[in-house]
């Protein structure tokens, strides 16, 4: 799997567990650390762990290896290192404090497809 495909997979895995404000940065031209950064917010430490678990399981199902997961126990900033894709799972306060989007502001953002939500049609009922 190419690194861009992996980054999009990770973003989808995070979204499926209610990650918020997902940003994917293309780091290939500005850093030799990794190809993509994914930065996202979790509403709580428990949600951060759930998102991380889903990313880990999803990558394993896709036969993609992980280097390391750091910060899982405290779960305020979890780093999921999948070699060419590094994911930062933040709680809101720490994401604002470290401002990785600002630090890596030169990196182009990858546009994510928004999945359409199913809406219920309201049936009008006529009373006789």
pLDDT for res 106 = 87
- The two beta strands, 85-91 and 36-42, are parallel
Q: How far is CA 15 from the centre of its chain?
A: 7
pLDDT for res 112 = 81
Range 3-103: architecture per CATH = 2-Layer Sandwich (3.30)
Structure token pair of residue 34:
């990794």
pLDDT for res 113 = 73
Q: Residues 70-93: pLDDT tens digits? A: 999 999 999 999 999 999 999 988
Q: Give the span between the Cα atoms of 43 and 20, in whole angstroms.
A: 8
pLDDT for res 114 = 62
Q: Residues 112-125: pLDDT tens digits? A: 876 544 445 444 44
Q: Give the span between the Cα atoms of 79 and 81, in whole angstroms.
A: 6
- What residues in the chain have per-residue pLDDT under 70? 114-128
- What are the residue ranges of helices labelled H in 1-128? 3-15, 45-61, 92-98, 100-103
Place of tokens 């990650």: 19
* 55, burial (CB in 10 Å: exposed 0-12, middle 13-18, buried 19+): buried
pLDDT for res 69 = 96
Instruction: Report pTM.
Output: 0.85
pLDDT for res 127 = 46
Q: Give the span between the Cα atoms of 3 and 81, in whole angstroms.
A: 12
């Amino acid at each position: 799997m190419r690194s861009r495909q992996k980054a999009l997979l990770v973003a989808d895995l995070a979204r499926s567990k209610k990650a918020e404000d997902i940003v994917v940065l293309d780091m290939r031209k500005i850093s030799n650390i990794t190809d993509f950064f994914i930065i996202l917010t979790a509403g709580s430490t428990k949600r951060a762990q759930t998102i991380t678990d889903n990313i880990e399981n999803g990558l394993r199902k896709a036969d993609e290896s992980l280097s390391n997961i750091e910060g899982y126990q405290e779960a305020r900033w979890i780093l999921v290192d999948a070699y060419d894709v590094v994911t930062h799972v933040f709680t809101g306060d720490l994401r604002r404090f470290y401002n990785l989007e600002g630090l890596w502001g030169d990196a182009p953002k990858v546009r994510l497809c928004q999945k359409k939500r199913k809406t219920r049609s309201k049936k009008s009922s006529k009373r006789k």
